[in-house]
Amino acid sequence: MTAMANTRYGAPDVLVSTEVEKPVPKDDKVQETNRHELRYDVVVVGGGSAGLSAALVLGRSRRRTLVLDSGEPRNAPSSGVHGFFSRDGIPPEELLEVGREQLEPYPSVEVCSTRVTGTSGDNGDFEVTLENRTVVRARKLLLATGVVDELPEKPGFTELWGRGVYHCPYCHGWEVRDRPLAVLNSGEGAAERAAFIRNWSRDLVLLTDGPTNLNEEGRRTLRALDIPVREERISHLEGGAAGGLRRIHFEDGSPLEREGLFYVPPQRQGSGLAKMLGCEIVAMGQAPAGVKSDPATRETTVAGVYVAGDGGNAVQSALLAAASGAKAAFFMNHALVADEVAAAVGAAT
């Protein structure tokens, strides 16, 4: 494969920023003030499906909660979020708008548009530094910062990401069903991936972007399913008038007309916060660097720090991210209650 480039389209919900600092917008509740006044039960870093879902549960649990969001969701290029119960096909920005609106009845929840520049502390007393140097404190932290997709440095990939080049067939397969499709994969699982995408269209070509290490079993599978393989290097992708994919061009000058390309790019963590806090990072599904957590509670290997969403999920989707956010919120509230009971008992003895 080729060199990769980080694309804004894969940007996380909140970044550990190295940019020139900018003031927090005036309409946000968090302003520069005395650090000891800014105490929360939970600070949620990331305002996507996972973070907003967690904030909803925490608000209903009467927990003082701060959601920090930079406004750059990973699925922003997509025309719709699919497979999301009761919201199938909703534009990504509209889904998040609804999520924020549904937090308004809960006065203990605040949402702030800002970037996070650092975090430290221990269970019960974490500090989170915002881009304007404001420091907020929290008893628990939820990392919902997602992942970054690293796309090939070939013309057309970034421009067509989410519009003709797709990561997930559950999210976009129905919209391109029975159309000419391609799968880009050169790894050992290439035949398996192509066979999987074939469920949405029989007009399918496997692209390897160079010599492949397909074993004989994989080649047998592809022959049995009548899936041709093209090993030529890809030069660029060409979009059509409607904004989707029209052609895949190869370095030898030959084109291949396709209306959809499925490709799972390498990924990295959406922010450096988990590493900064000392959370264990492990290979997880397609992500080589997922944040390890207790599957029962979503608590990471650092006490008091929880993870939700794509940054800690082996299987990624907006719906699963939202579910993991809700689950993390349940157990953060349980942990807060346990801390409060222990403190009360200790004070009474």
Q: What φ, ψ does residue 5 adopt, rounded to 5°?
A: -125, 135
Q: What size, in residues, is the chain?
A: 349
- Asked if 21 and 132 count as a contact pair (C-beta separation under 8 A), the reply is yes
Whole-number Cα distances in Å, 40 to 33, 111, 316: 14, 12, 29
In the prediction, which pLDDT does 79 show?
A: 87
Does residue 33 have a pLDDT over 60? no
In CATH, what number is assigned to the domain containing residue 297?
A: 3.50.50.60
Sole residue written with tokens 């391109």: 176
pLDDT tens figures, 119-167: 999 999 999 999 999 999 999 999 999 999 999 999 999 999 999 999 9
Examine the fold and report which residue of 247, 263, 279 is the final residue of a domain before the chain moves on: 263
Asked if residue 243 and residue 319 are part of one domain, the reply reads no
pLDDT tens figures, 183-206: 999 988 999 999 999 999 999 999
In the prediction, which pLDDT does 56 show?
A: 99
Asked if residue 121 and residue 144 are part of one domain, the reply reads yes
Does residue 7 have a pLDDT over 50? no
Does residue 17 have a pLDDT over 50? no
pLDDT tens figures, 52-85: 999 999 999 999 999 999 888 888 888 899 999 9
Q: How many domains does the chain have?
A: 2
Closest by CA position to 114, among listed 33, 12, 14, 38: 14
In the prediction, which pLDDT does 188 show?
A: 85
Does residue 16 have a pLDDT over 70? no
pTM for the full model? 0.88
In the prediction, which pLDDT does 30 show?
A: 56
Q: In the chain, pLDDT over 70 holds for what percent of residues?
A: 88
Asked if residue 271 and residue 176 are part of one domain, the reply reads no
Sorting pLDDT into bands at 50, 70 and 90, what band is 286? low
For the chain, give the mean pLDDT.
Answer: 90
Asked if residue 256 and residue 227 are part of one domain, the reply reads yes
- Asked if 281 and 275 count as a contact pair (C-beta separation under 8 A), the reply is yes
The average pLDDT across 270-297 equals: 90
Q: Domain limits at 243?
A: 168-263
CA 147 – CA 72 distance, rounded (Å): 12
SS3 content of the chain, % helix, strand, coil (to 5): 25, 30, 45
The average pLDDT across 248-269 equals: 96
